């Protein structure tokens, strides 16, 4: 995993013009600006013409489920090409390649990686992070790179398997998280915990105590004024201090396979929602500070929603998620206060969602995209169109009214803006 190849395909001088074009537009990490799949947006169209929204561009892309991050006019994602993993930067307005960073990454089989390969293909699964002038990306075999976002040049790089002597890991499906001057990454698998690296040098800032980490991505929260990070464990949620990795609390969230995949959802009322497939179900956890210590208290749990690999959304007093593992799939809305089911909708396959301009944007695994409005009475689908074809398991990205979506073979940009 030491072989590297960088392919430059655009002159560096074009970069300032791309940045100036959309200098305020950003979806720089997994889950968007706030890591909750909510984004401020220009007005979106309520309906689409026959044939769906305007296709701005589309192009082929290699294997993988890494989602799409956008900073100004720069779009970054990852894919696999044979025995190589590629971090690629595209012009967000045209889809043309700006640079590619290629790493030799033949698949090394172990128990966890084989589970992912058999179920989901060879990845990569993690989503890059853009922080400052760097792109941080981790591949399925544990190569963790910091790249200059303008050129793709390597700033620093780690082989995580070698550095931390990892014997078992879950394909590095978690997406990195920025906190202060560090970048934080769960190592995954049994007995490895979480590590924070200094963004500028790659040196280890701290390493947490050991606990079995699941594929789900971490999220930052604020509990009564204290910054905390929630890490998804194989059978629990764990709260850490992002300054030093100290454990603050833990709360059970069990499932049959130890595959808690969906990222938890933090609410403004001090409550944390999480959901899993494999008989894991959903639960709401209230977090509060008592005598300087964080106390988790379970508000409710239910098996009426079992989110598999997609994301859940908190919209007001509703939780909306796409249930389904090996059985039928359906969208479900739960009452955030009680866990009571408001409604179910069976018209979509398993789906990712985002929320913008008061509308729900849905991308299901069959490749359908839709725009809808939701209340506690039900869902009203305003427009729907088939766009993708090959396992659309990647969350959507929305920047300035442009929706970026991908499946296992292609990436597409669609104009969702309301026309004047």
The mean pLDDT value for 20-30 works out to: 68
Residue 314: what pLDDT? 97
Q: Is the pLDDT confidence value at 1 over 70?
A: no
Q: Quickly state the pLDDT bin for 120 (edges 50, 70, 90).
A: low
Per-residue model confidence as pLDDT tens digits over 308-318: 889 999 999 99
The mean pLDDT value for 370-399 works out to: 95
Residue 219 contacts residue 266 (beta carbons within 8 Å): yes
> Could you tell me the two tokens for 191?
């007995």
Per-residue model confidence as pLDDT tens digits over 93-106: 999 999 999 998 77
Residue 107: what pLDDT? 72
Backbone angles phi, psi at 120, to 5 degrees: -135, -5
Q: Is the pLDDT confidence value at 231 over 90?
A: yes
Per-residue model confidence as pLDDT tens digits over 173-208: 999 999 999 999 998 766 678 999 999 999 999 999
Q: Is the pLDDT confidence value at 7 over 90?
A: no
Residue 3: what pLDDT? 39
Q: Is the pLDDT confidence value at 15 over 70?
A: no
The mean pLDDT value for 253-275 works out to: 93
> Could you tell me the two tokens for 268?
């403004």
Q: Tell me whether residue 358 is exposed, middle or buried, using C-beta atoms within 10 angstroms of its C-beta: 0 to 12, 13 to 18, 19 or more.
A: exposed
Residues 131, 361: Cα–Cα separation, whole Å: 26
Residue 387: what pLDDT? 96
> Could you tell me the two tokens for 369?
């995209």
Q: Is the pLDDT confidence value at 119 over 80?
A: no
- List the domains of the chain with CATH numbers: 4-415 (2.130.10.10)
Residues 395, 129: Cα–Cα separation, whole Å: 15
The mean pLDDT value for 262-266 works out to: 96
Query: Could you give the C-alpha distances from 80 to 1, 76, 92, 352, in angstroms and in order?
Result: 14, 14, 20, 22
Q: Quickly state the pLDDT bin for 11 (edges 50, 70, 90).
A: very low
The mean pLDDT value for 394-419 works out to: 96
The mean pLDDT value for 40-50 works out to: 95
Q: Quickly state the pLDDT bin for 6 (edges 50, 70, 90).
A: very low
Query: Could you give the C-alpha distances from 87 to 31, 84, 274, in angstroms and in order?
Result: 19, 10, 30
Residue 168: what pLDDT? 67
Residue 112: what pLDDT? 52
Residue 20: what pLDDT? 35
Q: Is the pLDDT confidence value at 251 over 70?
A: yes
Q: What is the mean pLDDT of the chain?
A: 89
Closest CA to 271 of 286, 282, 283: 286
Q: Quickly state the pLDDT bin for 37 (edges 50, 70, 90).
A: very high
Cβ burial 277-301 (10 Å sphere, 16+ → b, else e): bbebbbbbbebeeeeeebebeeebb
How remote is the C-alpha of 409 from its chain's centroid? 19
The mean pLDDT value for 48-62 works out to: 95
Residues 274, 232: Cα–Cα separation, whole Å: 9
Backbone angles phi, psi at 414, to 5 degrees: -125, 140
Q: Quickly state the pLDDT bin for 390 (edges 50, 70, 90).
A: confident
Q: Is the pLDDT confidence value at 21 over 90?
A: no
């Amino acid at each position: 995993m030491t072989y590297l190849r960088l392919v430059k395909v655009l002159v560096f001088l074009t970069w300032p013009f791309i940045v100036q074009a959309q200098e305020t537009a950003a979806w720089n990490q997994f889950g968007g600006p706030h890591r909750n799949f909510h984004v401020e947006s220009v007005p979106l169209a309520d309906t689409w013409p026959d044939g769906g929204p305007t296709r701005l561009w589309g192009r082929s892309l290699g294997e993988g489920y890494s989602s799409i991050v956008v900073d100004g006019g720069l779009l970054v994602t990852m894919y696999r090409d044979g025995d190589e993993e590629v971090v690629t930067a595209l012009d967000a307005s045209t889809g043309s390649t700006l640079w590619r960073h290629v790493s030799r990454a033949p698949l090394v089989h172990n128990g966890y990686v084989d589970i992912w390969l058999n179920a989901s293909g060879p990845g990569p699964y993690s989503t890059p992070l853009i922080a400052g002038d760097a792109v941080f990306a981790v591949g399925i075999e544990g190569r963790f790179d910091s790249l200059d976002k303008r050129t793709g040049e390597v700033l620093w790089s780690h082989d995580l398997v070698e550095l931390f002597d990892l014997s078992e890991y879950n394909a590095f499906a978690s997406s990195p998280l920025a906190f202060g001057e560090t970048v934080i990454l769960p190592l995954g698998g049994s007995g490895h915990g979480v590590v924070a690296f200094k963004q500028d040098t790659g040196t280890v800032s701290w390493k947490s105590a050991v606990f079995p980490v699941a594929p789900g991505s971490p999220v930052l929260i604020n509990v009564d004024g204290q910054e905390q990070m929630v890490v998804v464990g194989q059978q629990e949620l764990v709260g850490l201090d992002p300054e030093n990795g100290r454990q603050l609390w833990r709360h059970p969230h069990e499932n049959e396979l130890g595959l808690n995949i969906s990222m938890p959802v933090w609410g403004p009322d001090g409550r944390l929602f999480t959901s899993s497939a494999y008989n894991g179900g959903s639960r709401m956890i209230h977090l509060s500070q008592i005598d300087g210590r964080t106390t988790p208290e379970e508000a409710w749990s239910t098996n009426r929603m079992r989110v598999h690999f997609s994301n859940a959304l908190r919209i007001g007093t509703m939780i909306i998620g796409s249930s389904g593992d090996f059985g039928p799939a359906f969208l479900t809305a739960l009452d955030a206060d009680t866990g009571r089911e408001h409604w179910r909708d069976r018209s979509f396959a398993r789906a990712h969602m985002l929320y913008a301009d008061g509308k729900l944007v849905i991308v299901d695994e069959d490749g359908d995209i839709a725009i809808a409005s939701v209340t506690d009475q039900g869902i009203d689908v305003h427009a729907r169109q088939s766009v993708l074809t090959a396992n659309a398991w990647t969350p959507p990205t929305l920047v300035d009214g442009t929706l970026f979506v991908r499946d296992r073979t292609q990436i597409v940009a669609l104009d969702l803006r309301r026309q004047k």
